[in-house]
Structure 1
Amino acid sequence: MNHLDLLPIVKRLEAYHIPYALGGSGMLRYLNLIHEVNDWDLMVECPKSTLIEAIQDLDWAELPTGGHPFASPYRISIESLQIDFIGHFALHTESDIFHLPIASFAIWDGIRLSSPEVWYIAYSLMGRTAKANLLQDYLKSNRTRVNTALIEHMLQTQGFTDELRATLSSFI
């Protein structure tokens, strides 16, 4: 899968002023933490109707947002391009819902990338330990690149386990 195939979609999002960031395995690939991307996870912050208007002439489908721990209001897929749009990405914590911010940390050939700090939390809350560990190691090894202000902001969230809270604090 070539990330450059996302450029026409990214241009549409930008034309509609839709905030977005590429996360998931695409972000992991950019960081050279994995070699294969299964699909492209684009976090978007807009009403579902705005996204649909931006991609209306493409073959898209609305998918279930998934069971627990997922709490996003919508998920739309363009299967032919292996793209999943996650609207207002949110996950359940132990006692609350955490809305993952679109915090871009880099641009990869014109594509905004979500921050590794955000996806460390996402993978931790989803129980995807292997990917969370990859990002934990990356953040520990790249302390000068860590967005401490973002971590401090996210630490204000209620419902994180003590372990997750301690790990996040260790990155600061």
Structure 2
Amino acid sequence: MTSPALLRFRLLASIALVLVSTFFAMAPAVAAENPAVEEMAGYLDFVDYQGGVMLVQQIPDEEWKNFVLIDTRDAGQYGKGHIPGAINIEWRRVLAEREKIPTDKPVLVYCNTGSLSGQAGFALRVAGYENVRILQGGYNAWLKARGEAPVVEQ
């Protein structure tokens, strides 16, 4: 004879199994049907190890003028200081404002440390901007190379 507790457990387990099976049957295929994911996967298969990253030390002083510099920090940070000649397009706006970004000149994106500009650079490169590079270490690395104090984030 089966106890009432065991019967309840079996009933609840059966219901849980049906619910889980239904959930997975109805859940969309995340990567298989998403063109953005497919595009990123193709990019990651193609990109070199550095992914378009440059160090401050790799750019001679006289070469900075040849880059279109994009400061991807917010307007407040940009207003407190930026690399001379840089334009300000916040990192999450680079695709929305991509008409401001040339495809026929070298573009260098930066933030304070390189992490947010890395996201902006990745988005632009996936969107076909093969001319985009990311300044590793960002504005802080640029300041340090010039003997200036880095920006302190609050």
Q: Which of the five TM-score ranges fits, normalised by the shorter chain? A: under 0.3
TM-score of the superposed pair, with normalisation by structure 1:
0.24
Higher relative contact order (CA 8 A, sep 6+): 2
Q: Which has the larger radius of gyration?
A: 2
Structure number with higher helix proportion: 2
Structure number with higher strand proportion: 1
